[in-house]
Structure 1
Amino acid sequence: MIRVVLVEPREPRNVGAAARAMKNFGLEELVLVNPERPLDEAAYRLATRGAADVLEQARTVATLDEALAGAVYVVATSARAREGYAGEVCTPREGAPRVRAMTAEGPVALLFGRENFGLSNEEMDRAHAVWRIPTGGYASLNLAQAVLLVAYEVFLARAELTETARPRPAAAEELERFFADLEAYLIEIRYTDEHRLEGAMRAFRRMAHRALLSSNEVQRLRGLLRQSRWAIAHGGERVD
């Protein structure tokens, strides 16, 4: 299952046009994170009758955590070049086959940002991959255009990939619990300080996203952090 997540959309009509683009290419699960305005007649007019069901079934949630719940693979989209992404950077055409393959493991979330300034750095950090949409110099796509382009590439991609079979990747919320533990641990052992913490965590997120850690691997890493804390406090005794 592929989940399209629109973060804080401003215009209902853009949501309607995005729903139509989704329907064109077989995507039907739409999640709206804290939209500025509720869906209205303009949204349904832009969706047309054929995609009205996408709007009717769309979920509205308050936070990105809720939107990503259960997702095993997260893609953030951007038309702009930035430095220091946590996820692997590629084009939609390069990344679409991986998305198709990952749907066999669980839900995949495609993140689209606000019409005026896209996704924040913190939201981009949640993604295993960042899809940069190439443009001819004017890097400002309409929200529905971006959804259409990404949905088209995913539709064209084929799942017949020669990837080595691996365990089901950890869900987004499992990874966030691990990152929270790791962040506290890095401060505790003075690996970094509060001023450099963001950059350090982005580097570790990048490694974890590229590794596609399984649920079991995440639990082992969290166990390692717990045992390390215990060893520091108790001189090396083992914690059960």
Structure 2
Amino acid sequence: MTQPAFILVRPQMGENIGAAARAMWNFGLDQMRLVAPRDGWPNPRAGALASGAGRLLDSAGLYETLPEAIRDCTYVFATTARARGLTKPILSPERAMEQARAIQAEGGRVGILFGPERAGLENEDIVLANATISVPVNPEFPSLNLAQSVLLTAYEWRRASVEIAPEVMELARTEFASGLEIEKLGDHFEARLEAAGFFFPATKAEGMKTNLRNLWGRLPLTRADVQTFHGMLRQMVRWAGK
């Protein structure tokens, strides 16, 4: 088992089970377990919400009790939105999934418990867990539905498991302009602005040119951008000539 098992404890609506499966599969997770689903199993309503994640429902483990569902787990997290008065570590989803990844990497097996839609896990469920996961939600409205909780946790697992660049630039059939290309663009602008009498008075001309060069240096220009600027300047000259 190279990923944690997402264990839905006494889920009430098939639609929510299906939405949870879809959320799991969005982030590459397929180990779903169901503990005593209220409306029985299988449930056709789950498939309607699972969309392309129906395979998770087909392979989901079905258990009558929670102890049976976590019997092979070496570490269990319980998700909860409220204080329980129990002495347990309380982790953010990010920290919990970092730990889960480390445990799995060492050969352990992690289970993550999600409670029924109406009121979440009971204390009798949470005492079986090693730690709890708590989301810093709005204290005036702490309710997260089942699929939301699964999605948030699955996202943090994915984030802890793969290298995700915090920011990328998508270049549409182009590449960043070279220093020489930006230098030539600056020359072109200066020549056109000089001809238009922009650099006035003469005592301020050098400072104005420096500011323009600094502007070009700050911009992440692509080759397509540079070509566009050159084209604009040429067209303005043609229009002025007419």
TM-score relative to the length of structure 1: 0.63
Contact 1:100 1:159 in 2 (8 A): no
Aligned to 2:97: 96
Structure 1 runs (4+) deviating above 3 angstroms are: none
CA shift at 1:45, angstroms? 1.1
Deviations 1:54-113 (A, max 9, x none): 00001111011110011011000011123223x311110122110001112222100001
Q: Which residue of 2 aligns with 1:9?
A: 11
Shift of 1:158: 4.0
For 1:40 and 1:84, locate their aligned partners in 2 and report how far apart those are by CA, in whole Å: 34
* Residues 1:149 and 2:142 are matched in the alignment: no
Residue 163 of structure 1 is matched in structure 2 by none
Q: In structure 2, what is the Cα distance between the partners aligned to 1:84 and 1:148?
A: 26
Q: Determine if contact 1:75/1:131 at 8 Å carries over to the other structure.
A: yes
Number of equivalences: 158
Note the 1:162-181 alignment, pairs <5 A.
none
Which ranges in structure 1 are unaligned for 5 or more consecutive residues? 161-240
Counterpart of 1:172 in structure 2 is none
Aligned match of 2:46 in 43, 46, 64?
A: 43
User: Percent identity, aligned pairs only?
Assistant: 43
1:76 matched residue in structure 2: 78
Decide whether aligned partners of structure 1 residues 4 and 30 sit closer, same or farther in structure 2, where only a CA change above 3 A counts. same
- Distance in 2, Cα, partners of 1:96 & 1:59: 22
Match of 1:135 in 2: 137
Give the alignment partner of residue 111 of structure 2, picking from 109, 112, 124: 109
2:235 aligns to what?
A: none
The CA distance in 2 between the partners of 1:40 and 1:31, in whole Å, is 14
Deviation at 1:159, TM superposition (A): 8.4
Task: Describe the SS at the equivalent of 2:117.
Answer: coil
Deviation at 1:44, TM superposition (A): 0.6
Aligned equivalent of 2:26, options 24, 27, 31: 24
Structure 2: runs of 5 or more not aligned: 164-242
Q: Distance in 2 between matches of 1:14 and 1:39?
A: 13
Name the residue aligned to 2:178.
none
Verify the 8 A CA contact 1:72 1:106 in the aligned structure 2.
Answer: yes
